[in-house]
Structure 1
Amino acid sequence: MSVPFALFTHCGIYEARVQDTFFVADQPLDDGNGNPPAGWGNPYQSGTITVTGQRAVFHDDLGHTVTFHERPGATSFLKLCA
């Protein structure tokens, strides 16, 4: 089931937290300067996320899709963004 989700994009698209589970992007996205790629919102992109097992998939109305995989046992993000 898809639920509304605001994906944090400010320093690029690397991770997502869904409830208490941390996920890392299968293919991180940025513009090469630590920002989201062109066409993405900053600091967030609104859309939906669907979690199935250890996988989460983000979609938005602009056609963006990002697939994430779970980091079992993670309690924080790998990278903090200023």
Structure 2
Amino acid sequence: MTRQAVRTTLTLTLPLAVCVLAGCASGASGASGASGDGGDGGDDGPEAVRATATPTAWATPTVRTIPFELYTHCGIEEARVGSTYFEAVTPLSDGAGHPPEGWDDPSQQGWMTVVSDTQAVFTDDAGHEVSFRARPGATDFKRICD
């Protein structure tokens, strides 16, 4: 299986697995004697679980992987996904303001996995992996490279 096929499979199956596990965990809570009304400490059955579960408890995380062209000309420092600006957790450079050895210049083709509103990870076929964190409130890159 290709690396892209693995990513696609994981991206599609992860939310399903989380949903199934969440359902099992809720069922286990009800079956283990979770109290629905707090009066006798007994199990009030499935209705008690439904009454206490909120929609956010069942929400599937929005992890998505998209093809991405990472700008590398002055090193790996920042990325923008949609309207969110991210900064590299550990910026990479050759020490002279260029991408490190093994990276394409001016950009590297790969995939960006948006893990959450505040985290993203860039990967590529060369085996590179760079973690990014969101810059809340950012409306532009910190530095524009020539």
TM-score band by shorter chain is over 0.9
Output the CA distance in 2 between the equivalents of 1:21 and 1:43: 21
Residue in 1 that maps onto 2:76: 13
Residue in 2 that maps onto 1:70: 134
**Are residue 25 (structure 1) and residue 88 (structure 2) matched?**
yes
Contiguous gaps of at least 5 residues in structure 2: 1-63
Identical counterparts, % of pairs: 55
TM-score, normalization by structure 2: 0.55
Q: Deviations over 1:10-60 (max 9, x none)?
A: 000000000110000000000000000000000000000011221000000
Query: Could you say which structure has the greater relative contact order, defined with CA pairs below 8 angstroms and 6 or more residues apart?
Result: 1
Greater helix fraction, Structure 1 or Structure 2: 2
Matches within 5 A, 1:38-53: 38-53=101-116
Specify the code of the residue in structure 2 equivalent to 1:78. Answer: K
What is the aligned length?
Answer: 82
TM-score, normalization by structure 1: 0.98
Output the CA distance in 1 between the equivalents of 2:125 and 2:65: 13
When the two chains are superposed, the root-mean-square deviation of aligned CA atoms in Å is 0.5
